[in-house]
A = this chain, B = another copy of it.
C-alpha cells in the first residue's frame, strides 16, 4: 500500500457511496483482497461509474469468439499505445492470469509485433491499433484480413468495441492521474 493520491479528484469512502456501488466494491474486495483504484476514482461520479461498469462487462464478460485473455491483449496493447499507466499495469496483471503466462503482458505492452502470440492474435492487434489511431480509414479490406484469420464480423465488433471502450478509459485515467494499485504490479508473475 502507498499513501500517494490515487486520483486528481476526491475519492469517496465506502460509506459515502451509493449502496449499489458500495456493495459491488465490497464484493470485489472480498474476492481479490483490494479495491482497484479505477472503481474508487470513478465512484466520484456514480452515474458514470455505473455506465462504465455496465459497458465494461458487456464487452469483457460476454461470450465471444475472442477468449478473455485475447480481449485483455487488446486492452494492454491499446493502453500502452495511449500511454495509460493504470490500464497497462492493471490489465497486464489480468492478462498474465487469464493467459497463465507471466511474460506475455510486458511483451505485448511494449511491442506486440514481437510478442509470443499467434499470427491470428497479431492480426487482431493490428486491427485494434487501426481502430484506435486511424478509425476513419477502417474499410472492408480490414475485415477481410480478419476473416482470413478466422474472425467473424461479430468478433470484429468485439475487437473494435474493446479498443474504443479502453480508449475512453485510457483518456479518463490519464486525465484523473489514476494510480494503479501496488498489488497489480506483481499479480500473475508467479
Q: Which of A55, A79, A174, A179 has the most CB of B within 10 A?
A: A174
Of B44, B111, B157, B189, which contacts A84 at CB under 8 A? B111
CA A181 to CA B157, docked complex, whole Å: 22
> Which of A14-22, A24-32, A65-73, A158-166 lies at the interface with chain B?
A158-166
- Distance to closest chain B CB from A171 (angstroms): 4
Q: Are B84 and A110 in contact (CB under 8 A)?
A: yes
Check A136/B83 contact, CB under 8 A, given A54-B51, A160-B175: yes
CA A89 to CA B106, docked complex, whole Å: 7
CA A5 to CA B172, docked complex, whole Å: 33
A177 contacts the other chain (Cβ, under 8 Å)? Answer: yes
Interface size grouping (class) on chain A: 35 or more
Residues of B contacting A82 in the complex (Cβ-Cβ under 8 angstroms)? 135-136
A13 contacts the other chain (Cβ, under 8 Å)? Answer: no
Of B4, B9, B135, B160, which contacts A157 at CB under 8 A? B9
Q: Are B47 and A54 in contact (CB under 8 A)?
A: yes
Q: Are A110 and B88 in contact (CB under 8 A)?
A: yes
- Distance to closest chain B CB from A157 (angstroms): 7
Using CB atoms, name the residue of chain B closest to A87: B110
CA A153 to CA B7, docked complex, whole Å: 12
List the 6 closest pairs (A to B, CB-CB), nearest first: A83-B136, A51-B55, A47-B58, A135-B174, A164-B171, A51-B54
Q: Beyond the given A54-B54, A131-B175, could you list 16 further A-B residue pairs with CB under 8 A, ordered by the A residue number?
A: A8-B143, A45-B58, A52-B55, A84-B111, A84-B135, A85-B107, A85-B110, A85-B111, A89-B107, A132-B171, A135-B171, A157-B175, A160-B176, A164-B171, A165-B168, A186-B190
